Amino acid sequence: MLSNWREITFANPEFFWAMLIIPLMVLWYFLRQKKLYGTIKISSTQGFTNSPIILFRHSLIIFRTIAITALITALARPQTSLSWQDVTTEGIDIAIALDISGSMLAEDFKPNRLEASKQVAMDFISERPYDRIGLVIYAGESFTQCPLTTDHNVLINLFKDVKSGMVDDGTAIGMGLATAVNRLKDSEAISKVIILLTDGVNNSGMIPPLTAAEIAQKFGIRVYTIGVGTEGFAPYPFQTAFGIQYQEVEVKIDEKTLQDIATITDGKYFRATNNNSLKEIYKDIDALEKSKIEVTEFHKRSEEFLPFALWTLGLLFFGFILQITYLKQIP
- What contacts 176, CB < 8 A, 6 or more positions away? 97, 98, 99, 136, 137, 138, 142, 196, 198, 205
183, 136 contact by CB (below 8 A): yes
pLDDT at 327: 59
Section 124-132 average pLDDT:
91
Measured over the CA atoms of residue 282, residue 288, residue 289 and residue 293, the dihedral's sign is positive
Q: Alpha-carbon distance 202 to 260, whole Å?
A: 13
pLDDT at 38: 54
pTM: 0.65
Q: Among 18-22, 125-129, 218-222, 244-248, where is mean pLDDT lowest?
A: 18-22
pLDDT at 1: 40
- Check: CATH 3.40.50.410 for 92-290? yes
pLDDT tens per residue, range 251-268:
999 999 999 999 999 999
Residue 303, φ and ψ in degrees, nearest 5: -75, 130
Q: Alpha-carbon distance 240 to 309, whole Å?
A: 91
Section 232-253 average pLDDT:
89
Q: Alpha-carbon distance 62 to 29, whole Å?
A: 11
Inform me whether the pLDDT recorded for 323 exceeds 80: no
Section 321-328 average pLDDT:
66
Element spanning 74, H or E: helix 59-75
β-strands 233-240, 221-228: how paired?
unpaired
Q: Give domain limits for the chain.
A: 5-83+301-324, 92-290
DSSP state at residue 220 = T
Measured over the CA atoms of residue 251, residue 254, residue 256 and residue 261, the dihedral's sign is negative
Cα-trace Rg, the chain: 40
Q: Alpha-carbon distance 262 to 264, whole Å?
A: 6
pLDDT tens per residue, range 137-151:
999 999 999 999 999
**Which amino acid, 202?**
N
β-strands 93-99, 192-198: how paired?
parallel
The mean predicted confidence, pLDDT, of the chain is: 85
Inform me whether the pLDDT recorded for 196 exceeds 50: yes
The alpha-helical segments, DSSP class H, found in 93-184 are 113-126, 152-161, 173-184
pLDDT at 86: 65
pLDDT tens per residue, range 70-116:
888 888 888 877 666 666 667 799 999 999 999 999 999 999 999 99
pLDDT at 5: 43
Inform me whether the pLDDT recorded for 226 exceeds 70: yes
